[in-house]
A and B are shown apart, each in its own frame.
Chain A
Amino acid sequence: MSATIILINLASLVCLVIALIKDRRKAVKGLYVAAKTFIRILPVVFIIIILIGLLLGFVPKELIARIIGEQAGWDGLLGVALLGAVLHIPSLISYPLAGSLLQSGASVTAVAAFITTLTMIGMVTFPLEIKELGKKMAFLRNGLSFIVALLIALLMGVIL
Protein backbone atom coordinates (compact mmCIF):
# COMPACT_ATOMS: atom_id res chain seq x y z
CA MET A 1 0.00 0.00 0.00
CA SER A 2 1.58 3.25 -1.08
CA ALA A 3 1.51 6.63 0.60
CA THR A 4 -0.60 8.11 -2.19
CA ILE A 5 -3.37 5.61 -1.63
CA ILE A 6 -3.43 6.30 2.09
CA LEU A 7 -3.30 10.05 1.45
CA ILE A 8 -6.19 10.14 -0.97
CA ASN A 9 -8.35 7.88 1.16
CA LEU A 10 -7.68 10.06 4.17
CA ALA A 11 -8.44 13.20 2.18
CA SER A 12 -11.74 11.85 0.96
CA LEU A 13 -12.66 10.72 4.45
CA VAL A 14 -11.89 14.14 5.93
CA CYS A 15 -13.85 15.88 3.17
CA LEU A 16 -16.74 13.51 3.71
CA VAL A 17 -16.84 14.18 7.46
CA ILE A 18 -16.70 17.96 6.88
CA ALA A 19 -19.42 17.69 4.27
CA LEU A 20 -21.63 15.62 6.56
CA ILE A 21 -21.27 18.17 9.34
CA LYS A 22 -21.89 21.11 7.04
CA ASP A 23 -24.88 19.87 5.12
CA ARG A 24 -26.01 16.32 5.52
CA ARG A 25 -28.43 16.26 2.62
CA LYS A 26 -25.92 17.65 0.18
CA ALA A 27 -23.26 15.23 1.35
CA VAL A 28 -25.55 12.28 0.80
CA LYS A 29 -26.31 13.61 -2.65
CA GLY A 30 -22.58 13.84 -3.30
CA LEU A 31 -22.15 10.24 -2.24
CA TYR A 32 -24.96 9.26 -4.56
CA VAL A 33 -23.25 11.05 -7.44
CA ALA A 34 -20.01 9.30 -6.49
CA ALA A 35 -21.62 5.86 -6.46
CA LYS A 36 -23.25 6.50 -9.81
CA THR A 37 -20.04 7.71 -11.40
CA PHE A 38 -18.22 4.73 -9.98
CA ILE A 39 -20.68 2.26 -11.44
CA ARG A 40 -20.61 4.10 -14.73
CA ILE A 41 -16.84 3.96 -14.95
CA LEU A 42 -16.42 0.38 -13.71
CA PRO A 43 -16.67 -1.41 -17.09
CA VAL A 44 -14.10 0.98 -18.54
CA VAL A 45 -11.84 0.28 -15.57
CA PHE A 46 -11.96 -3.44 -16.25
CA ILE A 47 -11.40 -2.89 -19.96
CA ILE A 48 -8.31 -0.84 -19.24
CA ILE A 49 -7.02 -3.36 -16.70
CA ILE A 50 -7.32 -6.18 -19.21
CA LEU A 51 -5.74 -4.06 -21.94
CA ILE A 52 -2.81 -3.20 -19.68
CA GLY A 53 -2.30 -6.87 -18.89
CA LEU A 54 -2.36 -7.78 -22.56
CA LEU A 55 -0.15 -4.83 -23.45
CA LEU A 56 2.57 -5.78 -21.00
CA GLY A 57 2.17 -9.46 -21.68
CA PHE A 58 1.98 -9.63 -25.44
CA VAL A 59 3.38 -6.48 -26.99
CA PRO A 60 7.15 -6.70 -26.99
CA LYS A 61 8.96 -3.80 -25.36
CA GLU A 62 11.08 -3.30 -28.45
CA LEU A 63 7.99 -2.61 -30.52
CA ILE A 64 6.66 0.04 -28.15
CA ALA A 65 10.12 1.54 -27.84
CA ARG A 66 10.44 1.65 -31.60
CA ILE A 67 7.14 3.46 -32.10
CA ILE A 68 7.04 5.83 -29.13
CA GLY A 69 10.35 5.23 -27.35
CA GLU A 70 13.25 7.58 -26.68
CA GLN A 71 14.78 7.02 -30.06
CA ALA A 72 11.53 7.11 -31.99
CA GLY A 73 10.86 9.89 -34.42
CA TRP A 74 8.23 12.56 -34.71
CA ASP A 75 5.66 10.30 -36.36
CA GLY A 76 5.19 8.28 -33.21
CA LEU A 77 4.87 11.35 -31.02
CA LEU A 78 2.42 13.07 -33.35
CA GLY A 79 0.45 9.86 -33.72
CA VAL A 80 0.14 9.41 -29.97
CA ALA A 81 -0.81 13.06 -29.50
CA LEU A 82 -3.50 12.80 -32.18
CA LEU A 83 -4.77 9.58 -30.66
CA GLY A 84 -5.03 11.33 -27.33
CA ALA A 85 -6.93 14.20 -28.91
CA VAL A 86 -9.45 11.94 -30.55
CA LEU A 87 -10.01 9.25 -27.93
CA HIS A 88 -12.59 9.77 -25.24
CA ILE A 89 -11.28 7.82 -22.26
CA PRO A 90 -11.93 9.24 -18.81
CA SER A 91 -8.62 10.81 -17.83
CA LEU A 92 -8.72 9.04 -14.47
CA ILE A 93 -8.39 5.72 -16.20
CA SER A 94 -5.79 6.96 -18.64
CA TYR A 95 -3.15 7.35 -15.93
CA PRO A 96 -2.71 3.62 -15.26
CA LEU A 97 -2.57 3.05 -19.00
CA ALA A 98 0.05 5.78 -19.34
CA GLY A 99 1.99 4.29 -16.44
CA SER A 100 2.06 0.87 -18.03
CA LEU A 101 3.18 2.39 -21.33
CA LEU A 102 6.01 4.10 -19.49
CA GLN A 103 6.96 0.79 -17.89
CA SER A 104 7.03 -0.97 -21.21
CA GLY A 105 9.47 1.35 -22.91
CA ALA A 106 7.58 4.41 -24.08
CA SER A 107 9.34 7.74 -23.66
CA VAL A 108 8.27 10.35 -21.13
CA THR A 109 7.59 12.74 -24.00
CA ALA A 110 5.18 10.40 -25.72
CA VAL A 111 3.32 9.52 -22.54
CA ALA A 112 3.04 13.17 -21.50
CA ALA A 113 1.80 14.11 -24.97
CA PHE A 114 -0.79 11.36 -24.80
CA ILE A 115 -2.32 12.29 -21.46
CA THR A 116 -2.12 16.02 -22.05
CA THR A 117 -3.94 15.93 -25.38
CA LEU A 118 -6.33 13.37 -23.97
CA THR A 119 -7.43 15.69 -21.20
CA MET A 120 -7.17 19.06 -22.94
CA ILE A 121 -8.74 18.32 -26.29
CA GLY A 122 -12.05 16.64 -26.84
CA MET A 123 -13.00 15.88 -30.40
CA VAL A 124 -16.23 14.34 -29.20
CA THR A 125 -17.22 17.52 -27.41
CA PHE A 126 -15.91 19.81 -30.12
CA PRO A 127 -19.29 20.48 -31.81
CA LEU A 128 -20.70 21.44 -28.45
CA GLU A 129 -17.80 23.76 -27.78
CA ILE A 130 -18.44 25.51 -31.08
CA LYS A 131 -22.08 25.89 -30.20
CA GLU A 132 -21.48 27.29 -26.75
CA LEU A 133 -18.41 29.41 -27.28
CA GLY A 134 -18.31 30.18 -30.95
CA LYS A 135 -16.15 28.86 -33.74
CA LYS A 136 -13.25 31.19 -33.24
CA MET A 137 -12.74 30.40 -29.60
CA ALA A 138 -13.23 26.66 -30.03
CA PHE A 139 -10.75 26.37 -32.89
CA LEU A 140 -8.21 28.59 -31.18
CA ARG A 141 -8.46 26.75 -27.89
CA ASN A 142 -8.21 23.27 -29.34
CA GLY A 143 -5.54 24.17 -31.87
CA LEU A 144 -3.37 25.95 -29.35
CA SER A 145 -3.99 23.21 -26.81
CA PHE A 146 -2.53 20.71 -29.22
CA ILE A 147 0.59 22.81 -29.74
CA VAL A 148 0.88 23.49 -26.02
CA ALA A 149 0.50 19.79 -25.24
CA LEU A 150 3.34 18.98 -27.63
CA LEU A 151 5.49 21.71 -26.09
CA ILE A 152 4.79 20.45 -22.58
CA ALA A 153 5.61 16.92 -23.67
CA LEU A 154 8.89 17.94 -25.29
CA LEU A 155 9.90 20.02 -22.28
CA MET A 156 9.11 17.11 -20.00
CA GLY A 157 11.32 14.91 -22.12
CA VAL A 158 14.12 17.43 -21.63
CA ILE A 159 13.56 17.92 -17.89
CA LEU A 160 13.00 14.31 -16.84
Chain B
Amino acid sequence: MIAIDGVSLTLQGTPILHDVSATLPKGELIALIGPNGAGKSSLLSLVARLIPLQSGRITVDGLPVDRTPGRRLARTLTIMRQDTGLAARLTVRELVGFGRFPHSRGRLTDEDRRHIAAALAEFDLTELAGRTLDALSGGQRQRAFVAMAFCQGTDYLLLDEPLNNLDMMYGRQMMRILRHLVDRQGRTVVIVLHDINYAAAYADRIVAMKDGRIIASGPPDAVLTTDGLEAMYGYRMPVHRIGDRLFIPHHD
Protein backbone atom coordinates (compact mmCIF):
# COMPACT_ATOMS: atom_id res chain seq x y z
CA MET B 1 0.00 0.00 0.00
CA ILE B 2 1.18 3.50 -0.84
CA ALA B 3 -0.02 5.94 1.80
CA ILE B 4 0.19 9.63 0.99
CA ASP B 5 -0.68 11.90 3.85
CA GLY B 6 -0.92 15.67 3.82
CA VAL B 7 1.68 16.23 1.10
CA SER B 8 2.26 19.75 -0.20
CA LEU B 9 4.93 20.83 -2.65
CA THR B 10 6.21 24.22 -3.72
CA LEU B 11 8.83 24.54 -6.44
CA GLN B 12 10.56 27.88 -6.96
CA GLY B 13 7.76 29.73 -5.21
CA THR B 14 5.02 28.08 -7.28
CA PRO B 15 2.69 25.81 -5.33
CA ILE B 16 2.43 22.48 -7.16
CA LEU B 17 0.56 20.24 -4.73
CA HIS B 18 -1.84 21.27 -1.97
CA ASP B 19 -2.27 18.99 1.01
CA VAL B 20 -2.69 15.80 -1.03
CA SER B 21 -3.76 12.64 0.79
CA ALA B 22 -4.48 9.29 -0.81
CA THR B 23 -4.25 5.58 -0.18
CA LEU B 24 -3.28 3.41 -3.13
CA PRO B 25 -3.97 -0.23 -2.32
CA LYS B 26 -1.58 -3.03 -3.15
CA GLY B 27 -2.16 -5.29 -6.14
CA GLU B 28 -4.08 -2.83 -8.30
CA LEU B 29 -3.46 -0.99 -11.54
CA ILE B 30 -3.96 2.65 -10.65
CA ALA B 31 -4.20 5.38 -13.27
CA LEU B 32 -3.40 9.00 -12.49
CA ILE B 33 -5.30 11.26 -14.84
CA GLY B 34 -5.86 14.99 -15.14
CA PRO B 35 -4.99 17.95 -17.32
CA ASN B 36 -1.43 19.15 -17.93
CA GLY B 37 0.02 20.84 -14.88
CA ALA B 38 -2.28 19.03 -12.45
CA GLY B 39 0.68 17.71 -10.47
CA LYS B 40 0.53 14.04 -11.53
CA SER B 41 4.21 13.70 -12.37
CA SER B 42 5.21 15.69 -9.29
CA LEU B 43 3.20 13.39 -7.05
CA LEU B 44 4.78 10.35 -8.68
CA SER B 45 8.25 11.88 -8.29
CA LEU B 46 7.62 12.51 -4.60
CA VAL B 47 6.54 8.89 -4.04
CA ALA B 48 9.68 7.74 -5.90
CA ARG B 49 11.82 10.18 -3.81
CA LEU B 50 13.10 11.94 -6.94
CA ILE B 51 12.00 15.20 -5.31
CA PRO B 52 12.64 15.59 -1.58
CA LEU B 53 9.51 15.61 0.53
CA GLN B 54 8.74 19.11 1.85
CA SER B 55 5.74 18.41 4.06
CA GLY B 56 3.52 15.48 4.84
CA ARG B 57 4.32 11.76 4.83
CA ILE B 58 4.58 9.10 2.16
CA THR B 59 5.06 5.43 2.99
CA VAL B 60 5.32 2.44 0.66
CA ASP B 61 4.54 -0.85 2.41
CA GLY B 62 5.20 1.01 5.65
CA LEU B 63 8.63 2.31 4.52
CA PRO B 64 8.81 6.09 4.76
CA VAL B 65 10.27 7.19 1.41
CA ASP B 66 12.27 10.08 2.85
CA ARG B 67 14.04 8.06 5.55
CA THR B 68 14.46 4.56 4.13
CA PRO B 69 17.91 3.90 2.64
CA GLY B 70 17.82 4.16 -1.15
CA ARG B 71 19.09 0.62 -1.64
CA ARG B 72 16.33 -0.87 0.47
CA LEU B 73 13.62 1.13 -1.27
CA ALA B 74 15.00 0.19 -4.71
CA ARG B 75 13.90 -3.39 -4.05
CA THR B 76 10.34 -2.32 -3.31
CA LEU B 77 9.66 0.56 -5.66
CA THR B 78 10.85 1.78 -9.03
CA ILE B 79 9.92 4.61 -11.35
CA MET B 80 10.24 4.78 -15.11
CA ARG B 81 10.94 8.11 -16.74
CA GLN B 82 12.40 8.94 -20.11
CA ASP B 83 15.48 10.73 -18.89
CA THR B 84 18.32 8.96 -20.61
CA GLY B 85 21.43 10.91 -19.60
CA LEU B 86 24.44 9.33 -21.23
CA ALA B 87 22.54 6.10 -21.78
CA ALA B 88 22.29 6.58 -25.55
CA ARG B 89 25.26 4.32 -26.25
CA LEU B 90 23.98 1.46 -24.11
CA THR B 91 22.62 -1.66 -25.69
CA VAL B 92 19.09 -2.69 -24.82
CA ARG B 93 20.47 -5.68 -22.92
CA GLU B 94 22.76 -3.47 -20.85
CA LEU B 95 19.94 -1.05 -20.06
CA VAL B 96 17.55 -3.80 -19.00
CA GLY B 97 20.41 -5.31 -16.98
CA PHE B 98 20.61 -2.13 -14.90
CA GLY B 99 17.30 -3.21 -13.41
CA ARG B 100 19.26 -5.88 -11.51
CA PHE B 101 21.60 -3.30 -9.93
CA PRO B 102 19.74 -3.11 -6.58
CA HIS B 103 20.12 -6.91 -6.28
CA SER B 104 23.64 -7.60 -7.47
CA ARG B 105 25.34 -4.18 -7.48
CA GLY B 106 26.51 -4.54 -11.05
CA ARG B 107 27.98 -8.05 -10.94
CA LEU B 108 25.43 -10.09 -12.83
CA THR B 109 24.66 -13.58 -11.56
CA ASP B 110 23.00 -16.38 -13.51
CA GLU B 111 19.71 -15.52 -11.83
CA ASP B 112 20.08 -11.92 -12.98
CA ARG B 113 20.65 -13.13 -16.53
CA ARG B 114 17.46 -15.20 -16.33
CA HIS B 115 15.51 -12.11 -15.20
CA ILE B 116 17.01 -10.06 -18.04
CA ALA B 117 16.13 -12.68 -20.65
CA ALA B 118 12.58 -12.91 -19.26
CA ALA B 119 12.17 -9.12 -19.37
CA LEU B 120 13.47 -8.95 -22.93
CA ALA B 121 11.06 -11.67 -24.00
CA GLU B 122 8.12 -10.12 -22.15
CA PHE B 123 8.52 -6.79 -23.94
CA ASP B 124 9.30 -8.28 -27.35
CA LEU B 125 12.86 -6.94 -27.25
CA THR B 126 14.90 -10.13 -27.65
CA GLU B 127 15.76 -9.37 -31.28
CA LEU B 128 16.74 -5.81 -30.41
CA ALA B 129 18.87 -6.79 -27.40
CA GLY B 130 22.19 -6.00 -29.08
CA ARG B 131 21.12 -2.64 -30.54
CA THR B 132 22.14 0.61 -28.89
CA LEU B 133 19.43 2.94 -27.66
CA ASP B 134 20.23 5.67 -30.16
CA ALA B 135 19.53 3.18 -32.96
CA LEU B 136 15.96 2.55 -31.73
CA SER B 137 12.69 4.26 -32.51
CA GLY B 138 10.97 6.24 -29.77
CA GLY B 139 8.54 3.44 -29.09
CA GLN B 140 11.21 0.75 -28.92
CA ARG B 141 13.24 2.86 -26.50
CA GLN B 142 10.14 3.37 -24.41
CA ARG B 143 9.63 -0.39 -24.17
CA ALA B 144 13.28 -0.86 -23.23
CA PHE B 145 12.91 1.54 -20.30
CA VAL B 146 9.75 -0.14 -19.07
CA ALA B 147 11.48 -3.51 -19.43
CA MET B 148 14.27 -2.22 -17.20
CA ALA B 149 11.74 -1.18 -14.54
CA PHE B 150 10.09 -4.60 -14.88
CA CYS B 151 13.46 -6.33 -14.53
CA GLN B 152 14.06 -4.58 -11.22
CA GLY B 153 11.41 -6.95 -9.85
CA THR B 154 9.87 -4.49 -7.39
CA ASP B 155 6.37 -4.86 -5.97
CA TYR B 156 5.56 -1.29 -6.97
CA LEU B 157 6.08 0.16 -10.44
CA LEU B 158 5.50 3.85 -11.06
CA LEU B 159 5.31 4.76 -14.73
CA ASP B 160 5.22 8.32 -15.99
CA GLU B 161 3.36 8.29 -19.31
CA PRO B 162 4.62 4.93 -20.58
CA LEU B 163 2.37 5.13 -23.64
CA ASN B 164 4.26 8.12 -25.06
CA ASN B 165 5.60 7.35 -28.52
CA LEU B 166 3.80 4.00 -28.71
CA ASP B 167 1.54 3.13 -31.61
CA MET B 168 -1.82 1.48 -31.00
CA MET B 169 -0.43 -2.02 -31.21
CA TYR B 170 2.37 -1.44 -28.70
CA GLY B 171 0.20 0.83 -26.54
CA ARG B 172 -2.27 -2.02 -26.16
CA GLN B 173 0.53 -4.54 -25.63
CA MET B 174 2.05 -2.33 -22.92
CA MET B 175 -1.24 -2.04 -21.06
CA ARG B 176 -1.86 -5.79 -21.32
CA ILE B 177 1.59 -6.53 -19.92
CA LEU B 178 0.96 -4.14 -17.02
CA ARG B 179 -2.44 -5.74 -16.44
CA HIS B 180 -0.73 -9.13 -16.47
CA LEU B 181 1.82 -7.93 -13.88
CA VAL B 182 -1.02 -6.95 -11.58
CA ASP B 183 -3.21 -10.03 -12.13
CA ARG B 184 -0.59 -12.79 -12.24
CA GLN B 185 2.28 -11.45 -10.19
CA GLY B 186 0.38 -9.35 -7.68
CA ARG B 187 2.41 -6.25 -8.41
CA THR B 188 1.12 -2.73 -8.00
CA VAL B 189 1.31 -0.41 -11.00
CA VAL B 190 0.73 3.34 -10.76
CA ILE B 191 0.66 4.95 -14.15
CA VAL B 192 0.19 8.49 -15.47
CA LEU B 193 -2.14 8.30 -18.46
CA HIS B 194 -3.43 10.92 -20.83
CA ASP B 195 -5.87 8.81 -22.80
CA ILE B 196 -8.82 8.26 -20.51
CA ASN B 197 -10.05 5.39 -22.67
CA TYR B 198 -6.95 3.38 -21.75
CA ALA B 199 -7.65 4.25 -18.13
CA ALA B 200 -11.25 3.17 -18.50
CA ALA B 201 -10.29 -0.13 -20.11
CA TYR B 202 -7.40 -1.23 -17.91
CA ALA B 203 -7.35 0.53 -14.55
CA ASP B 204 -8.79 -0.87 -11.33
CA ARG B 205 -8.80 2.56 -9.81
CA ILE B 206 -8.52 6.06 -11.19
CA VAL B 207 -7.12 8.99 -9.27
CA ALA B 208 -8.12 12.28 -10.87
CA MET B 209 -6.07 15.39 -10.20
CA LYS B 210 -6.47 19.03 -10.99
CA ASP B 211 -4.57 22.12 -9.87
CA GLY B 212 -2.45 20.19 -7.38
CA ARG B 213 -5.36 18.46 -5.67
CA ILE B 214 -6.99 15.05 -5.93
CA ILE B 215 -10.55 15.75 -7.00
CA ALA B 216 -11.80 12.20 -7.36
CA SER B 217 -10.64 8.67 -6.67
CA GLY B 218 -12.31 5.33 -7.20
CA PRO B 219 -13.20 2.70 -9.81
CA PRO B 220 -13.56 3.95 -13.42
CA ASP B 221 -17.36 3.83 -13.29
CA ALA B 222 -17.42 6.29 -10.41
CA VAL B 223 -14.76 8.72 -11.65
CA LEU B 224 -15.36 8.81 -15.38
CA THR B 225 -18.68 10.62 -15.59
CA THR B 226 -19.59 13.51 -17.83
CA ASP B 227 -19.75 15.88 -14.86
CA GLY B 228 -16.57 14.58 -13.30
CA LEU B 229 -14.65 14.89 -16.57
CA GLU B 230 -15.95 18.39 -17.10
CA ALA B 231 -14.68 19.38 -13.66
CA MET B 232 -11.27 18.02 -14.69
CA TYR B 233 -10.84 19.11 -18.29
CA GLY B 234 -13.27 22.02 -18.57
CA TYR B 235 -15.57 20.70 -21.30
CA ARG B 236 -18.40 18.21 -21.56
CA MET B 237 -17.85 14.86 -23.21
CA PRO B 238 -20.30 11.96 -23.51
CA VAL B 239 -19.59 8.74 -21.64
CA HIS B 240 -20.89 5.67 -23.48
CA ARG B 241 -21.11 2.16 -22.21
CA ILE B 242 -20.39 -0.55 -24.73
CA GLY B 243 -20.75 -3.99 -23.20
CA ASP B 244 -19.04 -3.69 -19.82
CA ARG B 245 -16.60 -1.03 -21.08
CA LEU B 246 -16.77 2.73 -20.80
CA PHE B 247 -16.00 4.58 -23.98
CA ILE B 248 -15.44 8.33 -24.01
CA PRO B 249 -15.17 10.09 -27.36
CA HIS B 250 -13.33 13.07 -25.92
CA HIS B 251 -12.01 14.43 -29.19
CA ASP B 252 -15.26 15.48 -30.86
Q: Do A and B come from one complex?
A: no
Q: Which residues of A contact B (CB under 8 A)?
A: none
